[in-house]
Structure 1
Amino acid sequence: MRNTDFAIAGGGIIGLSAALALAQLGCSVTVIERTPFRDGGATRDSGRVFVLTQSTVSLLDRMGVWRTVGPLTYPLRDIVLSNHVPADRCAAHPLTFGDHKGQRTPLAFIIAERHLKQALVDHARQSGRIEILGGRTITAQQAGQQRILLDLSTGEQVAAALLIGCEGRGSATAARAGVKIHQRDSGQTAFVQTLRHDQENAFRAHQYLLPMGPLTILPVGPHRSSVTWTLPHAEAEALKTASDACFARALKGTMGANLGPFHLEGGRVSFPLTSAIAERFIGARLALLGDAAHVFHPMTGQGLNYGFRDIETLRSLVATARQAGGDVGAPALLARYQLRRRPDARMMRLVTDNVISFFAGDNVLLASVRHLGLRTVGAMPPIRSFLIRRANGLREPLQIPHENVRP
């Protein structure tokens, strides 16, 4: 029988980050991950990248991880939002979010999934308070008055004050606890592809809210960008098996001259898009974090960052409870966690789903309304500022470590 303060189901980015945040409080943490952690836990290159907001960077810095991943990131200084499509009969009105005061402060930082995951694995292995049990799954969980007992696929048992579900969407931990997940199928498929292009991207991201679905272009290097292209399932089917040349032609037809001539780099990944939110984020000695609790459309770039907000909230509540000598798995603590996190995640899901619906379709009248909406927001700097700070999870200004920021 292993005894630990916290058992974490899932050794992905959110699970490992939660482990590090709690270990910093002096807690013992056991991470249970179905994938064997061989070769230091290195993962294959999925081609996925993440946008790290200021609040996420701040948490990574406090955990000591930013000094490792900072040099591997690429700064994002501006985001250009547009409803432009080549056949749109209403002129597009781009809306730019960024630093317009000349301070050159990045809005966010972009990092490859594999770099962030490897850094977290390395830091977890060095922590001394974190045990990683790879190649195992939880087969049963039973909550008691003071502990929750877990049966593992290897026949081992783990007892913890709190079980934290971080397995991502379709969480088995949530299912065993009877937590219902409300899902919405967007009817869309997303393609993720890295491009190498002639023109420099100038640290600028582009997001086109198109009738067929959003197209997002994130800079990952001066002449490299990661594209997430969303299409209805029917249109996406043909592109799943298309040659690189055919896919590139189709993508160029949507992107136009943006970034100049380009060629594909690395593999192409596709996946169906759904949004989801757990009916509750808690159970008996259970807390759900990250995609186990909420899943957003990738156009937000906020899925991972909302997982880090979950971590920061739980870490703060645990720190307070430990200082008072309280139970870190108590119902009152978990109720506060849910009260702080679920409304925030629910609002993000609601807004995102409605934005996608609003910009879908070819109706000329709706196109005019969409254009007016972008123009109105663009003419009101306070609203732009509010949206940026809201996306970053900020209430007060935060200092981002600048030693790794590229000029």
Structure 2
Amino acid sequence: MIAVALVTTAMLSGCSSLPPPTNELAGAQQSVARAENADADQYAAAELANARNALGRAQSAMSEGEEDDARLLAESAASWGDLALARSRAASTQADYDQRRNEIADLRQRLQLGADDAGPAPLAWTEPNVPANADAQTAMSQRLIALDADARLQGMASYERLQARQSVDALANVRKSDRAQATQVAQRRVETAELSARTEATRRDVDRLDRERSDLLVEASRQEAERARQEAERMRVEAQIQMEEAQRLRASVEAESAARMQAEEIILDVAGDQKSKLSAAREKEAALARQEAALTGAGSLPASKRDARGEVFTLDGTSFGSGKSTLTAAASANVAALGAYIAAAPTGRISIEAHTDGQGEADANQQLSQRRANAVRDTLANAGVPKSRMQATGMGETAPIADDGTAAGRARNRRVEIIVADK
């Protein structure tokens, strides 16, 4: 706003009493840098090139003592840079929107849902109807009025709209020699305001599509899990029927040793084959439960391994602040995802064992580890795991797994293990 006012004053008075345009040059440099950081070289190459050119000319004018020219060129560079930024953001946002729409269409088809009836993104717009004989200032004013009247864009790109309005209003008092350049700057400011407002609205739609996509992914995972459960039940019934048939064969050939041996071989083959199928089905069900937990929660499952105790998930020492018993936001999300997995999968009892390193007093470490074990238990309970199935134990510094004399070893010793027994 200050830059626009200073440039307007420059056009009216010749800048004889204005300070050197160092602020305007700094603002122009920032505008160009923002556009470059937003990949304007890819999406708005021409606008970015114009911004760089105007900035270079402004810097040259400044070094030659031509402060009036430097000020005007800096404003031109800033308006080109802001337009390049707006175009780049609009292009990348539209690409995000189209990608989300395509993903949602694929998911809806996969789930046999109806077609999505969402309208076009706000970036798909129609130019306002401006009379052909309107002068440039009137035409730009009407474009801003149309932008303000669009209910979808209320409250969006307020700063860009203000810059555009100031640039357009300033045309009424600008010097004739500067009018052409001032008009071009105002046109770029109006276009920047239009693009920025529609881009904000489209980004809001992208966020909405992200939520819809997540819901559809959860539903797809649930349907896949249900199909896996049905397949497991079908194989169980099939195995039972085949087992009964094998038993009938055994009874029918019991009188003859050779026939009995043949029946035993059939039984073993059938039992082994069905056991493998049921095991594979259970593994698939557990994997789908992991997917569902990850989709439902904001986090991901902690690292895990399997040993004689069952499946062991480990939270490392970064899951809590130093000396604290409150889970970090990321660790809390991961434990919540683990809770969703445990609630969905067929598992046995859960043991929570918290460990510290050997730094500090043993009693204090024991109490801290118990509080941390309790915090993990409570987070799992909030995610749907019954407390009656869980036991939280603070192990203190009694069970190190690495050399506690080194920082790396102490970091490994600070951990919480969640042991999920097989059902």
Fold-level similarity (TM above 0.5): no
Q: Which has the higher contact order (CA 8 A, sep 6+)?
A: 1
Q: TM-score, normalised by structure 2?
A: 0.19
Structure number with larger C-alpha Rg: 2
Higher-strand-fraction structure? 1
Q: TM-score, normalised by structure 1?
A: 0.19
Higher-helix-fraction structure? 2
